Structures are given as structure tokens and as C-alpha cells.
Amino acid sequence: MFAQHLPVLPIILPLMAAPLCILLGRSHLAWLLATLVSALSFVISVDVLLTTLEQGVLSYAIGGWQPPWGIEIRIDTASAMILSAVTGISTLVLVYAKESIAKEVDPSQHTLFYTAHLLCLTGLSGILSTGDAFNLFVFLEISSLATYTLVSLGSDKRCLTAAFRYLVMGTIGATFILIGVGMLYMKTGTLNMIDLADRIAEFNGNRTLKTGLAFILVGVSIKLALFPLHMWLPPAYTHAPSAVSAFLASTATKVAVYVMVRFIFTIYGAEFVFHTMSMDILLLALAIVAIFKCSFMATVQSNVKTVLAYSSVAQIGYMILGISLVSSVGLMAGLLHIFNHALMKGALFMAVGAVLLRTGSVDIKAFQGLGKQMPLTMAAFTIAGLSIIGVPLTAGFVSKWYLVTAALEQQQWVIAMLVLLGSLLAIIYIGRILEAAYFKEPSELTAGKDIKEAPMLMLVPMWVLVIANIYFGIDTSLTLSAADTAAQLLTQSMTEIEAAQ
Amino acid sequence: MNIWSTLDPAQLINLTIVVPLIGAAFIALFSQQPNLREGVSIITAVVLFTLVLAVTDNTFSKLSMETTWVALFPGLEIAYSVEPLGVLFALVASFLWIITTIYSIGYMRGHNEENQTRFFFCFALSISTVMAICFSANLLTLFIFYELLTLSTYPLVTHAGTKEAKHGGRVYLGVLLSTSIVLFLLAILGTWVSAGTLNFTPGGVFTQAHSDSLVALLLVLFCYGIGKAALMPFHRWLPAAMVAPTPASSLLHAVAVVKAGVFSILKVVIYIFGIDNLSDIATTDVMLYIGTATVLLSSCVAMTKDSLKARLAYSTVSQLSYIVVGALLASSVAAAGASLHIATHAVGKITLFFCAGAIMVAAHKKNISEMVGLGRKMPITMIAFAIAALSIIGLPPMAGTWSKWYLMVGAVEADKMIIVVVLTISSLLNVAYLLPIPIKAFFNTPSGDQPAWSWSETKEAPLPSLIAIVVTTTACLWLFFYPQPLIDLINLIPDVSTELKGRP
């Protein structure tokens, strides 16, 4: 009886808890509630993931209205896998946030922070669960609006301009998506994804649908910060409170990548997008430029949060590259990297947040000498950094392995080489920070200060993610089977077409 | 000599990897009691050596030893399986670890180095990864521990913490990580995608079905991707690594790390490409000549270096390319010579590095120009230096004779006279840059303002270091008279033989 409602709970629980946080009024009560709700959502998501691995797609009709008339919650392995990552990271970030926002966010706004965080989580869970194109837009806006609020909560005044910039770009993106979805509805008369897929196939090559695709792809590309539409991201991640950066970097853009996968593979069909519209070449080119341009930008920044932000844009390039290879292995590599990158970037931003708490700065100079003063934090940073580089026995190696395999399977040696060359830039931008931490004497920013190790409530979530990085780098059975099942399901139509040809 | 015969053979492999790790844990535990800590180091090294001896024993009795740890990807595991070439490398590395530990005790204390616990800890870690490299059953396992070896030796390179050490460390890490990530990993993935397996298979994994250009490309990627083999122009990390304390230079940058590189190349040539197929690959000759060029060029560079360790480093670069050349000659005898060179060069070069360290501790001299007349102050060290130098040159009655002999025979068998000529010239160059050092130390008297030493002020390095030097020097001589066990082991490697083909 209860079990059948499980798929909808990761959306409903945070949505209900969000206003409660304000009503509770007290910061630590709100923290406790938000963390518990998020943890509960995580447990449910993992359960849903395991169910989808066994039984396939889960469908739930909201309010009992049957699809395609009502709104359908439709969770397949791809959604469940990312949902688990999102709710898991959210829980860890909330545990971490208590100490982190104490210094970075004005005390009167603490309950607001938890409310906005939960609303953002609602939106993200909604995007991942819904089977309805318009509903997806609504959830995207819920999460985006909450995100603008979260970014603007920072104590640094510059976070306001960053949030405003993000708001403008994000709204343009949302509008584009809305126009695209509108065109879809105009032509097909339905908003249910499965229904849409069927009807789009009938209208093969219709100009309105093609225009709709263009609008949607541009809109989603803004949301996922695909080069050259990424300019809003570095300032937003730099000036947002650390807990927010950690959460957004590892979830929000990834969910936008998921939206792109959903529109390309489920709604329009890979055949239409990649063969009729030749979007693969465009995405491939942009992905490669993103990897190199933004990795390079990351190597020359002095603010460590900006380094990580540019690194995020570059890593999104890897995900898009995987998608643009138009193969089941490529898509699998992209999905794997969504999951694995969440683990590494979350840990990295948490470590930086801990440094900000203790030294009051995130300039690379503040990191000098921290190897001795904050050994646990810097060890976490080191391991997560190695994972970004793609050193064996970390999660990053697994996704890179599959990405290169996917490229080589199509005889794309140059692309394979470029992917690996991108790792070299990661060595440089992570290496600079590690060198400062372990080999340089404390700079004038921190000299003479007594810097302690980060508090336990920050270290624990950080290290959970670090251990997850190593665990999923060694025992890959769960992530691989999930990503493989998800990719098979999504590319089913594609392989059928290929088989027919 | 198999004191571990009651153990399951598969457990032996696990133990060779785990024992150094346990040792490392105890070293960290006893950081405050130096005597106990060094005791642990030596005991661990000795236990490891007996384990490797047991593995050797099993190899001779044709016992198959395999174990799997974890499946990283479907169809691809972190797995180990013992084969003779790996046993040879493991024997060399584990034996020399004992000697180096003894030497380090004298050196590190005589030199008052800081962070000695970190030094011995990282040392044990890197030996553990070397053992895993020796026994890896597939390229993925080899690659993982190849990378871990780079990372675990990095703290040793930067041990001094000076600006120079940091710069050396940066070059070391930069070159080794970039070549391995961009080229080695690409080669491995290329092999995986095209051949569908990464297991080391006697005779190679490629068939006629694979396109020639693909296999040719992969060979180049492997040769350069395995940057630890220091093929020019990716050799810069080796001289840069010389900023490490001398015991680390001697074991790691004359034996373990560099030999892990050439070992990987031999392993790839024998078990991925197959020696018999090598002559059909278009790029074999290209890489062969790059190897010979490295032999000659780095010998020439070595001559210009006044710093003793830098000269030895370039000599190592040159000697490593002997092994690469031997591997690429597509001759079973040359491959045997290359495998034997892993052992003979190891004992010779480690002695030379030990001597360099001893001179640094006892006489505080780094540069060759300051060592004139030093033979009077440190006669034992200098005699050892002379013997090891003769072994590197390849003169009887030293160990180096045999490996050079087989390399030459292999070159003749492969009908590449130019290689024979190059090897001869290289020997002459070795004479030119190594022998003057002991000769001047004994027969010349320093001129100008340098102090002159007399026989009355004999002051050798601390006793443990001296013992180590004597042991490795003896090994240089010993392996000339009794090379048979090693040659028997090498003859067990598939497709590799010290016998010329066509003879029984």
C-alpha cells in the first residue's frame, strides 16, 4: 500500500518540509528537519534505484489521474541513479552546512537557507522523476529560483551581482525551454514524454519540431553551462556560500545534463537529433572546446573556488562528449561521469569551504602550508583531486576509462587523445593547489594565525564523499550496472534503428 | 630453499604485496624509536626476500600461481599471475631492498636527514607496488601499480624539501604522469578495444585480423607511454629525480622505478605483441633506432656532467635503452640479454650509487672534479666503484659481461650489425666517463687549492653503508661466475632463450 507511493516521496517530502523550516524558526531545528528529510529521500531513492534495476521503469500517476492525461512520475534507471546521487549529496551537504553557513550566512537567514535548499532539492527530484515535459519545466524553475536565492545568501556583496547574472541567464534559458516545449505541445497536443516520443516519430522532419528542438537545446545548454553559455557559472559558484557551491556543482548542472539526455534520447529520439539534425558534431565540438578552454582557465585562477568552478564547466564537457559520441557506451560514460563527478566536486568544494571557515579566504595563498595545519581536509582535497585527474582506483578513472573506450570503439583516436590530454590540465590546476598546501610556507594571509583542523561535522561528510570516490573506483559493479542499464534503455530506439539498417 | 612451502601458492603473491605494507604500518608506528623502526625495515625486507625465493622455487617446479583481487570492469580484474620475467625482477628488487635498507641506516643517520620515518615508510610502499607490478596478470593491473609507484616515490624525490628538490619532483611527476596518462593509458585502451583482452598471453594478443597500422601505432604509444623506461626525449625525469637522498636514488632510480619501466616494455613486447610478430610491425625499427640513439646520446651527455649523481643518472638512461633495444630486436637471445641486463645492471649501478652516497657522507663531495686523490681516503669505496664500473662497461670478470654478450649475439642473430657497432661504441663511451673517476682517485694528486688526502686519514662511510657496498660489489663478481640460476629462470620465459635458434 505504502510502497506504491515511494517514487513520489523524494519530491513531496522536501516540498512539505520547506515551509516547516521557516515555521520552526530556530536554525538548528530547521537544520535537523532538513537533514532528516533529505536523508529519508536518499534512502527512498536508493530503494527506488534497486527496484528499477530489478523491475525496470516505475510509473506513478499523480492524484490517480492516469497518463497521458494526468501528470506521470516515471523513474527509470537513469533517473533513479542520478536521484540517488542528488539526494545523497544533499544530505551530506546539509550535515556539512551547519558549521559552514554559521560563518558565511547571516544568522537571521539560516532558516531561509534550509528552506531554499529543500525547495531546490524538490525541484531537482521533480525534474528527475517526472514523465511530463511541461512539469519538467515547472520543476526546473522551482529549483532554479531556489538556487538564485541560495547563491545570493553569501556574505560577500559580490554574490548579489553573481546571483543576478545567474538569474538573467537562467531565466533566458528557462524561457527558451518553455518556448520549445510550447512548440512541441502545439504540434503534438501532448506533454507526456512517452506520448510525445510516439507522435514526434509520426511527424518526422516537421519544421516546428525542429525549431522546438533548437530552443530546447539552447535553453538546456544555458542551464547546464555548456561552453560558450557558461559565463554565469564561475561567478555564481565563486561567491555563493561554500555549502551551496558544493551542492550546486555536484547536482544542479548534472540534472540539467540529465534534462538534455531526456529530451534527446527519450523525447526526440537519438536518430532524429543526431542523424537528421546532426547535433552530434555541434555538441562534440563545443564539448572539446569546453574541456580545453575551461581547464586552461582553471589553471590561471587565483581563487580556488573559481578554479573548481571552471573545472566543473570542463567536466560538463566530458559528459556532453560522452553523449555526443552517439553510442550506448558513450552515453553510459556520460551518465557515469555525472554520478562520479558529483562525488569528487562535492568533496572538493567541501574541503575549500572548510579552508574558508578556518582561514577566512579561498585565495590560493591561503592554502599555503595547510598540509600541516589542516591535514585531514587537505588529504580529502588531494584524493578528490586525484579523482578529478582520473588516477586509477578512484571514481574518476572509471568514467574516463569508459569515455576513452567509447571514443576508440568508433575509431576516434584523436578524441580519445584529447580526453586524456584534458587530464593533464587537471594535473596542473589541482597540482598548483596541492603544491601550495604541502610545499609552501604560510603566506601573509595566514601567517601567525593559529589554524585548526575543520570541525567534525564538516570532516565527516567530506570524508564520506572521499571514501565513496575510492569505493566506486574499486567496486564498480553498482555504478556500472546502473549506468549500463540506463544507457541501454535510453538508446534502445537507436539500436533498433541500427539493427534495422 | 622454500620455508613457505606449506603456504598456498596463490597466498604467496598476496603476501609479497602485503608484507611491505605491513612493514610500512609498523615503520609509521615506531616513528619515535629509530632502532626499532629500522629493525622492522630489515626484517620486512628479509621476509619479503624469502617469500620471493619461495615464488622462484615454485616457478622452477612449474607451479602455476594466480590470484584475483577484484573485478574493476566486467571482464577486467586486478589480478596477479606469476611468470619467470616477473620473478626475475622481483628477486632483484627484493634482494636489493635488504641491502639498501642496511645502507640507508648508515647514510640517513650519517647525513642527519630529517623525516626519516617518512623516508622508510614510502620506501616500503614503493616496494609493495613494485611487487604488484612484477606479478600483475594484465595491463590494467600493471598500469594501476605503475601509477601508484610514481605517486609513492614522489615524496622520496622531494625529501630534501629544498627549492631544487621541489623542482625535481615537479619534473618527475609531470613527465611520468603525463606520459602514462596520455600515451600509456591510450595504448592500453586501444589494445582493450581492438584485441578485447589485456591479459599477458605468451605469443601476444594480436592476430592477423588486426590492422597493421593500429598495431604499429600501439607499439609507439607503449614505448613512449612507459616513461619510466626513459626513452629520449622523455628521459628528463630521471636526472631530475637525482635530488632524492642517495639510497632512494640507488634503489628506486637505478633499480626499482626504472626497471619497472623496462620490465613493462619487455612484458608488453613478449606478452602483448609477441617476439615473433615484432619484426612484422612497421614501427619496430623506428623505436629500435630511437633506443640506440638514446644509448649513444645519453652516454655523450653523461660525459659532460661533473656532478657524480647526474653522470650516473645519464649512464642509467643509456643502460635502460640497452634493454629497450634488446626487447625490440625481435630476437629471443637479445630478449634474454635484455632480461639479464635487468639484474646485472641493477647490481652494478646500485653499487655506483652507494659509492656516490658514501662519498657524500664521508667526504662531503658531490662533484667528480673534487674527487681527485680520494682513493687514499676511501680505498674500499673507490675499489668497489672501479669494479662496478667495469661491470657496467661489460668487462669480465664482472656480471655485466653476460648481458652485453647476449645482447650482441642477439643483434647478430637479428642481422643488425649497426646495433653491434653501437653497443661497442657505447662500451667505449662507458670507459671514457666511468673509469677516470677511480683512476684519478688512486693515481693522481689534487692540484691547486684542493686538499690532498693521505693514506693515514682513511675515513670510510659508516659501517652499515660499507657492508652494503661490499655485498653489491661481491654480487657483481658473483653473477659473472654463477649466472646459471638467473639464466635458467630467463630460459623459462616463453619465446626467450639464451640458445641460438637452429641449435639444439
Nearest CB to A480 within list B74, B151, B186: B74
Cβ–Cβ of A392/B158 closer than 8 Å?
Answer: no
Query: What is the pLDDT, as a whole number, of residue B503?
Result: 44
CA-nearest residue of chain A to B143?
A392
Cβ–Cβ of A480/B73 closer than 8 Å?
Answer: yes
Query: What is the pLDDT, as a whole number, of residue B360?
Result: 84
Nearest CB to A474 within list B72, B151, B161: B72
Q: B145 CA to chain A: closest CA distance, Å?
A: 9
Whether residue B332 contacts residue B496, with contact meaning beta carbons closer than 8 Å, is answered with yes
Q: What is the 3-state secondary structure (H, E, C) of A419-480?
A: HHHHHHHHHHHHHHHHHHHHHCCCCCCCCCCCCCCCCHHHHHHHHHHHHHHHHHHHCCHHHH
| Closest to A22 in 3D by CA, of A113, A90, A93 | A113
Buried b (16+ CB within 10 A) or exposed e, B352-369: bbbbbbbbbbbbebeebe
pLDDT at B461 over 80: no
| Closest to B27 in 3D by CA, of B44, B49, B15, B47 | B44
CA-nearest residue of chain B to A391?
B147
* A-chain residues near B143 (CB < 8 A): 392
pLDDT tens across B9-32, in order?
778 888 888 888 998 888 888 878
CA-nearest residue of chain B to A436?
B166
Testing the interface with B: which of A325, A408, A435, A488 to mutate, by most B Cβ within 10 A? A408
pLDDT at A380 over 90: yes
Amino acid at A374: M
Cβ–Cβ of A427/B177 closer than 8 Å?
Answer: yes
| Closest to A347 in 3D by CA, of A471, A481, A480 | A471
Tell me the helix, strand and coil percentages in chain A, rounded to 5.
Answer: 80, 5, 15
Whether residue B457 contacts residue B237, with contact meaning beta carbons closer than 8 Å, is answered with no
For residues B251-257, average pLDDT: 81
Q: Indicate the pLDDT class of residue A230, thresholds 50, 70 and 90.
A: confident
Angle CA B199–B203–B209, to nearest 5: 85
Cell of B418: 649497426
Cβ–Cβ of A476/B72 closer than 8 Å?
Answer: yes
Nearest CB to B182 within list A401, A408, A424: A424
Q: Indicate the pLDDT class of residue B456, thresholds 50, 70 and 90.
A: low
Tell me the helix, strand and coil percentages in chain B, rounded to 5.
Answer: 75, 5, 25
Query: What is the pLDDT, as a whole number, of residue A496?
Result: 53
Q: How many CA atoms lie within 13 A of B342 on its CB side?
A: 37
Cβ–Cβ of A393/B144 closer than 8 Å?
Answer: yes
pLDDT at A108 over 70: yes
CA pair distance A317, B426, nearest whole angstrom? 49
CA atoms A115, A92, A226, A496: torsion sign: negative
| B87 CB-contact burial (10 Å; exposed 0-12 / middle 13-18 / buried 19+) | buried
Cβ–Cβ of B147/A427 closer than 8 Å?
Answer: no
Q: Which of residues 198-257 of B touch A (CB under 8 A)?
A: 217
Cβ–Cβ of B189/A474 closer than 8 Å?
Answer: no
CA pair distance B208, B471, nearest whole angstrom? 49
Cβ–Cβ of A424/B72 closer than 8 Å?
Answer: no
* A-chain residues near B182 (CB < 8 A): 417, 420-421, 423-424
* B-chain residues near A393 (CB < 8 A): 144, 148
Cell of A223: 542551464
CA pair distance A70, A47, nearest whole angstrom? 25
Largest Cα separation within chain B, whole Å, is 73
Cβ–Cβ of B143/A392 closer than 8 Å?
Answer: yes
Buried b (16+ CB within 10 A) or exposed e, A338-353: bbbbbbbbbbbbbbbb
pLDDT at B504 over 70: no
Q: A489 CA to chain B: closest CA distance, Å?
A: 19
CA pair distance A485, A475, nearest whole angstrom? 17
CA pair distance B372, B315, nearest whole angstrom? 21
- Chain A interface with B: residues with Cβ < 8 Å: 389-393, 398, 401, 404-405, 408-409, 413, 416-417, 420-421, 423-424, 427, 431, 435, 439, 474-477, 480
For chain A, give the mean pLDDT.
87
pLDDT tens across A319-364, in order?
999 998 888 888 899 999 999 999 999 999 999 999 988 888 888 8
ipTM exceeding the 0.95 mark: no
Nearest CB to A476 within list B73, B174, B193: B73
First to last CA, chain B: 31
* A-chain residues near B170 (CB < 8 A): 431, 435
Testing the interface with B: which of A291, A292, A328, A393 to mutate, by most B Cβ within 10 A? A393
pLDDT at B324 over 70: yes
pLDDT tens across A442-464, in order?
877 777 777 888 888 889 999 99
pLDDT at A39 over 60: yes
**What are the phi and psi torsion angles at B444 (to 5°)?**
-100, 155
Whether residue B352 contacts residue B415, with contact meaning beta carbons closer than 8 Å, is answered with no
CA-nearest residue of chain B to A419?
B182
Q: Indicate the pLDDT class of residue A501, thresholds 50, 70 and 90.
A: very low
pLDDT tens across A156-207, in order?
788 889 899 999 999 999 999 999 999 989 888 888 888 888 888 887 778 8
Q: Where are the domains of chain B?
A: 9-491
Query: What is the pLDDT, as a whole number, of residue A495?
Result: 54
Query: What is the pLDDT, as a whole number, of residue A493?
Result: 60
Cβ–Cβ of A401/B189 closer than 8 Å?
Answer: yes
pLDDT tens across A59-75, in order?
888 877 887 778 888 88
**What are the phi and psi torsion angles at A59 (to 5°)?**
-125, 140
For residues B307-320, average pLDDT: 89
Cβ–Cβ of B72/A439 closer than 8 Å?
Answer: no
Cα-only R_g, chain A? 21
pLDDT tens across B72-84, in order?
888 788 888 888 8
For residues B165-181, average pLDDT: 87
Query: What is the pLDDT, as a whole number, of residue A348?
Result: 93
* B-chain residues near A474 (CB < 8 A): 70, 72
* B-chain residues near A476 (CB < 8 A): 72-73
Cβ–Cβ of B158/A404 closer than 8 Å?
Answer: no
* A-chain residues near B173 (CB < 8 A): 431
CA pair distance A284, A318, nearest whole angstrom? 10
The proportion of chain A whose per-residue pLDDT surpasses 70, expressed as a percent, equals 98
* A-chain residues near B190 (CB < 8 A): 408, 413, 416
Testing the interface with A: which of B69, B172, B181, B224 to mutate, by most A Cβ within 10 A? B181
Cβ–Cβ of B185/A480 closer than 8 Å?
Answer: no
Testing the interface with B: which of A292, A299, A340, A401 to mutate, by most B Cβ within 10 A? A401
Cβ–Cβ of B158/A439 closer than 8 Å?
Answer: yes
Angle CA B22–B28–B31, to nearest 5: 140
Whether residue B50 contacts residue B66, with contact meaning beta carbons closer than 8 Å, is answered with no
Cβ–Cβ of B71/A421 closer than 8 Å?
Answer: no
